[in-house]
Amino acid sequence: MSKPIYDLEERTFQFAKAVRLFVKTLPKTIANDEDGKQVVRASGSVGANYIEANESLSKKDFVMRIKISRKEAKESAYWLRLIHETNNLV
């Protein structure tokens, strides 16, 4: 049996897209507007930095950009948790 192929460029794109669609469903409050902006930026940066890593000119540059991508993923998780815990979400 062959292993499935994990296209991280596509997966990170789908993640950013899902975050944007989710943010559109939130109630319009000052907190949600600000937190939504933060999570939209961070989620988009995950994929953008991953793509830049794949186009890096050196191993050092690759490692740095992958670390940035990981940092943005953790930041996205933070904002999503904050949104979840400050809204009546199931």
Domain limits of the chain? 8-20+30-85
| Higher per-residue confidence, 9 vs 89 | 9
Q: 8-20+30-85, superfamily in CATH? A: 23S rRNA-intervening sequence (1.20.1440.60)
The string of pLDDT tens digits covering residues 26-77 is 999 999 999 999 999 999 999 999 999 999 999 999 999 999 999 999 999 9
What does the pLDDT read at residue 88? 83
- The CB density around residue 85, as the number of other CB atoms within 10 Å, is 8
Confidence of residue 89 (pLDDT cuts 50, 70, 90): confident
Amino acid 31 reads A
